[in-house]
């Protein structure tokens, strides 16, 4: 890994050069929160954000994506990737993207996702402010931060830029980068270590302990109690960087002949998610609210561990903030299960 440095005064010039090549998707302010959006001007860039409302996967997997169009005779694929830079992604979200990459390529390569993903260069950035529910310092430690091309760490007077891939190397020519000194590199390591240690919330047990306890709690009454106030709204799924389910629908044109096949993000907490048609009727295989609530935690903390080498939760804390009923916080739920 090559370690470079760019000063504060040269950072904007670098970002503007990136914007000159193609879209740059980066954290920008939205009222009191932040979102990943195409940068219109470098002044909108907010590298000191805490977290964004939706995870950065929106850059390659939009909430609604057209898959195929049909004109009555011929179906055409909608895959049409644009080279872009996804800039300022926090380490926990980089892990979330690496998990999505795995989910969408494991048994079948999802080209509607992968074509956009391959066209994206990812520049990560260090956490400068913690989201109030973040616990990434105590979860998912077994899973490496991989898949990004460059990583910027805020240090005195500028940023240490770690170059991870050829795509990252290719960006160096667009900015006034020099070699990082040993002192700057050491400071960057300390900054990233402190970010892990200073999360406001934390899990008390290892991923393996949590996984085993989760599995053994499957039949516990605690799930009924924990989900009592759940509205089944699905917000905790929608904001999650590691949720990957989607629903596919055909939307017919007014001519009754043309159509577009689209997919939208889906949520296993909603009642309709587990409805299937059976012999002309309808069956719901997770009809009870508590079953759906439990399923989400089983997926995150137990079922996907073997596939990912760790939990499918990166500790961003978005679900805790998104839940109107204030019951979705994994730290509260998991610590409660561990006490049983």
- Interface contacts to ligand SF4, rule CB under 6 A: 230-236, 239-242, 269, 300, 313-319, 322-325, 327-328, 330
Residue 102: Cβ within 10 Å count:
16
Cβ 13 to ligand SF4 shortest distance, Å: 34
Cβ 172 to ligand SF4 shortest distance, Å: 32
Helix or strand run (H / E) with residue 117: helix 111-118
Closer residue to ligand SF4, CB minimum distance, 184 or 267: 267
Closer residue to ligand SF4, CB minimum distance, 38 or 295: 295
Cβ 313 to ligand SF4 shortest distance, Å: 3
Cβ burial, residue 233 (10 Å; 0-12/13-18/19+): middle
Residue 276: Cβ within 10 Å count:
9
Closer residue to ligand SF4, CB minimum distance, 46 or 328: 328
The rounded distance, in Å, linking the Cα atoms of 25 and 312 is 24
| Alpha helical stretches, state H, 144-288 | 166-171, 182-197, 207-216, 222-226, 235-238
Cβ 222 to ligand SF4 shortest distance, Å: 15
Closer residue to ligand SF4, CB minimum distance, 165 or 274: 274
- Give the tokens for residue 332: 């509260």
Q: Which of 53, 85, 57 is nearest to 241 (CA)?
A: 57
Cβ 263 to ligand SF4 shortest distance, Å: 20
Closer residue to ligand SF4, CB minimum distance, 86 or 319: 319
The rounded distance, in Å, linking the Cα atoms of 105 and 61 is 14
């Amino acid at each position: 890994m090559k370690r470079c440095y760019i000063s504060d005064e040269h950072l904007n010039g670098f970002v503007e050069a990136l914007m000159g090549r193609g879209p740059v998707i980066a954290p920008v302010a939205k009222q009191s929160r932040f979102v990943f959006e195409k940068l219109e001007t470098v002044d909108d860039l907010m590298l000191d954000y805490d977290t964004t409302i939706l995870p950065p996967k929106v850059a390659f997997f939009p909430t609604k994506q057209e898959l195929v169009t049909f004109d009555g005779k011929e179906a055409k694929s909608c895959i049409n990737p644009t080279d872009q830079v996804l800039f300022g992604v926090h380490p926990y979200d980089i892990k979330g993207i690496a998990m999505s990459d795995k989910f969408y390529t494991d048994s079948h390569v999802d080209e509607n996702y992968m074509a956009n993903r391959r066209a994206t260069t990812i520049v990560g950035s260090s956490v400068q402010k913690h989201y109030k529910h973040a616990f990434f310092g105590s979860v998912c430690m077994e899973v490496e931060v991989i898949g990004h091309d460059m990583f910027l760490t805020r240090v005195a007077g500028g940023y240490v830029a770690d170059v991870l891939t050829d795509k990252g190397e290719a960006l160096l020519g667009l900015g006034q980068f020099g070699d990082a000194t040993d002192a700057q590199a050491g400071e960057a390591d300390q900054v990233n270590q402190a970010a892990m240690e200073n999360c406001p919330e934390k899990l008390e047990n290892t991923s393996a302990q949590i996984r085993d306890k989760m599995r053994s709690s499957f039949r516990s009454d605690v799930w009924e109690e924990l989900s009592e106030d759940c509205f089944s709204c699905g917000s905790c799924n929608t904001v999650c960087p590691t949720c990957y389910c989607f629903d596919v629908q055909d939307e017919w044109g007014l001519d009754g002949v043309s159509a577009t096949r689209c997919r939208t993000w889906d949520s296993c907490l909603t009642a309709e998610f587990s409805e299937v048609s059976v012999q002309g009727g309808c069956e719901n295989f997770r009809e009870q609210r508590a079953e759906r609530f439990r399923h989400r935690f089983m997926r995150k903390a137990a079922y996907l561990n073997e596939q990912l080498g760790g939990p499918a939760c990166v500790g961003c804390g978005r679900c805790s903030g998104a839940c109107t009923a204030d019951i979705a916080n994994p730290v509260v739920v998991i610590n409660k299960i561990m006490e049983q």
